[in-house]
Chain A
């Protein structure tokens, strides 16, 4: 009790120094929380951009299909898989697709691209196809309707209602097949690759045109928790596993995203360590100043019989109290800032494309409970650790020498 009383009273002896040290620790905590929130927000945008635009959080396809998008590798009888998907509780949506490379021609021009045969209704819950529509109408029951990327439409010099001819090889006999469609809508996802190379037609029309029967090239999945897609023990993955069928989560589909996530977590760690290192140096400096200021007093306390451990404990307790006070101030500040920016976003100065993902003009930090529990604990722990050296110094004060020096 005496130790606690002394520690708190000592802290407020030099209010300005305590305030400045608190400010340093508080700022570090607030910056750390904000930075983590922003990184989480950015990762969310990037992962979301990749998984929600078109890819899905996981995919089911015939082994080898994704290597070269070889349209002859398709799921010929996907009914049993679709039944499993229909009943799975971890999923929120799935979308069956036919994907065939084709030559896309207008009256003025021709381009190479990918034809996606999609189920318009299922895509609404699985991808951003519906949201990407910027002109015209979304796909309907019309078997001749077609959605085209804005950049492709510009290159082909066509607009809504114009005719488009798709030419490709039939998957069963490699014979050339052609289909005539009319542009019902223009879409814009953002990434250039998607907007200049992809066209979307109803899945039934695609299956008929490319001689697929009921066959599918890909089934894109969305989960209730997007992290489930990467779980190695996922029951769904085991259930649909049969000869020649592959199930892959978004991390396996996009290894570069995994590398980016790993790199980001390292970067966060490094920045955090540097930040707290500076804060710790500030704390060490401040505590040493307070020790030198009280050298005579500490020497007297020791002379009259205070044990070294008590003196050391006092310094550690002062550091602990300093950190607790700083966290007490920093947490509400961090919470207010995070809440504000989570609602209003942090302006980035315009949209930009990064690794095939379009980052919006504003970044919204993500507020997570651990930022307000783990980070303050780290701050308290690191502050106390930083105070160990000054505490040892204080505990080892030689009374006779210090009394002489201080006078």
Chain B
């Protein structure tokens, strides 16, 4: 299996002087194609910071983030925006969607940014809606969808751009356990059937139970890397 993401001695600090805290303190980890991995750890352990650094949402103070061999740590402006658009899918905790756009338009949005032709876009949106079990609900705006349905649309949007990896930061945090389990089953299914690579940041037991690999983080360092 090829390596999708590799971090090398990644370090990110917040504050200054005596208040300086290393949220991520020299983490080196690699994620392979098709993995279903969860970064776990207590609150403040640095898992979300690590996910932000991997996703190019934050800049490391030291170290490198290699995505398909390309270092994204120094990218800024349009370059990092375009890179995220084309290579990384994001699912956040909540309010993932643009409220004034319908589910269909939310999924289409990222492809519009990519410049995908209209016919291809439409076909892919319908395909994605079908994959996440929301066929026929594309016209609804986020406010007209349940929390679980909204997260499904977020999954569909994340997949729509054909990314190398999907990063999910606490995707079930705002869902009840049943809906959360259904969403995770869907993602696991997409991982198994389509070979999509998922990387979670979580302390949700349901995700941990489904993950193939658990990267335990504490105080900004990898404490344990557990492959099941």
Query: Which residues of A are at the interface with B, using a C-beta cutoff of 8 A?
Result: 2, 6, 9-10, 13, 296-297, 300-310, 398-401, 403-404, 407
Q: Is B112 part of the binding interface, using a Cβ–Cβ cutoff of 8 Å?
A: yes
Task: Select one of B77, B84, B92 contacting A305, CB under 8 A.
Answer: B84
Contacts of A6 in B (CB 8 A): 98, 100-101
**A9: shortest Cβ distance to chain B, in Å?**
4
Which of B1-9, B51-59, B200-208 touches A?
A: B51-59
**A308: shortest Cβ distance to chain B, in Å?**
7
Q: Is B78 part of the binding interface, using a Cβ–Cβ cutoff of 8 Å?
A: yes
Given A10-B100, A305-B82, A307-B81, is A399 in contact with B57 using a C-beta cutoff of 8 Å?
Answer: yes
Q: Is B93 part of the binding interface, using a Cβ–Cβ cutoff of 8 Å?
A: yes
Q: Residue of B at shortest CB range from A403?
A: B92
Q: Residue of B at shortest CB range from A7?
A: B100
Q: Residue of A at shortest CB range from B52?
A: A400
A301 to B95 Cα, complex, angstroms: 11
Q: Residue of B at shortest CB range from A402?
A: B57
Q: Residue of B at shortest CB range from A310?
A: B113
Task: Select one of B58, B84, B93 contacting A407, CB under 8 A.
Answer: B93
**B68: shortest Cβ distance to chain A, in Å?**
16
Would you call A400 and B100 a contact (CB within 8 A)? Answer: no
Would you call B78 and A305 a contact (CB within 8 A)? Answer: no
A398 to B90 Cα, complex, angstroms: 15
Given A2-B109, A2-B112, A306-B113, is A301 in contact with B78 using a C-beta cutoff of 8 Å?
Answer: no
A303 to B55 Cα, complex, angstroms: 8
Would you call A305 and B161 a contact (CB within 8 A)? Answer: yes
A235 to B203 Cα, complex, angstroms: 91
A310 to B98 Cα, complex, angstroms: 15
A-B contact pairs, 29 of them (CB 8 A): A2-B109, A2-B112, A9-B101, A297-B98, A300-B90, A300-B92, A300-B95, A300-B98, A301-B98, A302-B81, A304-B89, A304-B157, A304-B158, A305-B83, A305-B84, A305-B86, A305-B113, A305-B114, A306-B81, A306-B85, A306-B113, A307-B81, A308-B78, A309-B78, A400-B52, A401-B58, A403-B57, A403-B92, A407-B93
Query: Which residues of B are at the interface with A, using a C-beta cutoff of 8 A?
Result: 48-49, 52, 55, 57-58, 77-78, 81-86, 89-90, 92-96, 98-101, 109-110, 112-114, 157-158, 161
**B161: shortest Cβ distance to chain A, in Å?**
7
A10 to B99 Cα, complex, angstroms: 9
**B156: shortest Cβ distance to chain A, in Å?**
12
A145 to B109 Cα, complex, angstroms: 90
**B75: shortest Cβ distance to chain A, in Å?**
12
Contacts of B112 in A (CB 8 A): 2
Would you call B99 and A305 a contact (CB within 8 A)? Answer: no
Contacts of A10 in B (CB 8 A): 100
A10 to B83 Cα, complex, angstroms: 27
**A304: shortest Cβ distance to chain B, in Å?**
5
Q: Residue of A at shortest CB range from B157?
A: A304
A374 to B198 Cα, complex, angstroms: 56
Task: Select one of A302, A305, A307 contacting B110, CB under 8 A.
Answer: A305
Contacts of B90 in A (CB 8 A): 300, 303-304
Known contacts A6-B100, A297-B95, A305-B84, then 5 further A-B pairs from the complex at CB < 8 Å, ordered by chain A residue: A6-B98, A304-B90, A308-B81, A309-B78, A399-B52
A302 to B84 Cα, complex, angstroms: 9
Contacts of A303 in B (CB 8 A): 55, 57, 84, 90, 92
